[in-house]
Amino acid sequence: LLPLTAAVLSQFHEDGFLALERFFTAAECDGMRERIREVVAEMEVPPHCRTEFSTKEEEQLQAQGSSDYFLTSGDKIRFFFEKGVLDEKGNFLIPKEKSISKIGHALHAHDPVFKQITHSSKVQELGRKLGLERPVVVQSMYIFKVQSITSLVAVTPHQDATFLHTEPLGRVLGFWIALEDATLENGCLWFIPGSHTSGITRRMVRTSPGTSTCVEFIGSEPTYEDNRFIPVPISKGGLILIHGEVVHKSELNTSGLSRHAFTFHVMEAKDTSWSKENWLQPTPELPFPSLYT
C-alpha cells in the first residue's frame, strides 16, 4: 500500500484525484464479483422497470428523468441496462449478465459484501487520513463496462458534483475500486488534473411536480479539449479517489474484456448541506450512514 504521506495527500489536493494501487486484495475483488454474479442471477426486473441507462443528456432526461425507478433508487438495489439489449416487450436480447450497465444505488447499505468493503477498516483509516470528520455514504454503484454488443458506451466528461451538489462545494469524494485491471483498451478513467478548483457550471436538479421529466439540467457543460485529459490505468484492487469537482471521463471499451468496478461516494457532513434539489435524497428508511462504524 502506498503510504499516505503529506506529499501524496498534497498531490491529491493539487490534481483532484489519486490512484492507490493494490488497496484491496485480489480475494476481496473476486468476492465482490462473485456476489454480483449471485445478485444478477437472482435479478427479476419487471418489464416497465427496465430502464436503459445513458450518460447522454437528452437520453438521461427522457429515460431517467421520466423514470420513478431511477429517482427512487437511492435507498434500494436496482438495475440499469445498456441500450438496445431489450426488445419492445422488455425481454433480453442478449444474456442478462451482458446487458447490465450498472447496479445502484444502495449496495453499501443492503448487501453484506459491499457494506463490508465500504466500511472496511482501511477505507475508514483513509477517511481519517484525508481529514474527514463526519463522512457519510451517499450512494454506491457496481459498474460493468462490458464491451457492449450494442452501444460501446463511453462516459462523457463530467463532474460528480453536477449530480451530487452540496453547500459548500468540495464536500463529496468518490472511491472508485477496480475489480479488474482498468486499461487504455477497456475504458480506464481519464482526468483533467487541477480541474476541481473552478467550481461547476451544470447541475442536474429535480423538477417541480407535474413537469414532464423528473429531473432537468441547469447550466451547461463546457467543451473540454481532449489533450487536457490524462489516462489513469490501474490494476485490479486499485482505488482511485475522485474529488467531487474534478473533470473525468472514460472512453469506449474496445478490448473484448469487461472492466468491472465498484464505486461509492462519501460526503463530509460536518458544516455541509446536501441540496434538496439533488435527484438522490436520504429517506427515513435510509438516512445516509456514517462511514465510520
pLDDT at res. 150: 46
Bridge partners of residue 155, in order along the sequence? 250
d(CA 194, CA 14): 6
Rounded Cα distance, 98 and 179, in Å: 16
**Of 17-31, 33-47, 180-194, the least confident:** 33-47
Flag the least confident range among 56-60, 62-66, 114-118. Answer: 62-66
Least confident of 54-68, 220-234, 239-253: 54-68
The whole-number pLDDT of residue 54 equals 60
Confidence of residue 152 (pLDDT cuts 50, 70, 90): low
Q: Answer whether 170's CB lies under 8 Å from 246's CB.
A: no
Render pLDDT for 116-146 as a digit per residue (tens, 0 to 9).
999 999 999 999 999 999 999 999 999 998 8
Find the range with the poorest average confidence among 59-68, 125-134, 272-281: 59-68
pTM, rounded to two decimals: 0.92
Q: What is the structure's pLDDT at 66? A: 43
Please write the tens of the pLDDT for every residue from 196-209. 999 999 999 998 87
Residue predicted with more confidence, 211 or 191: 191
Average pLDDT estimate for 42-65: 60
At the top level of CATH, the class of 6-274 is: mainly beta
**How does residue 229 score in pLDDT terms, banded at 50, 70 and 90?**
very high
Question: pLDDT higher for 123 or 83?
Answer: 123
Using a pLDDT cut of 90, give the percent of the chain over it: 70
Q: What is the mean pLDDT of the chain?
A: 89
Question: What pLDDT is stored for residue 87 in this prediction?
Answer: 77
Handedness of CA 86, 91, 94, 95 (dihedral sign): positive
Sign of the Cα torsion 204, 270, 24, 3 reads positive
Reported as a single tens digit per residue, the pLDDT across 237-265 is: 999 999 999 999 999 888 888 899 999 99
According to the model, what pLDDT value does residue 55 have? 64
Domain positions in the chain are 6-274
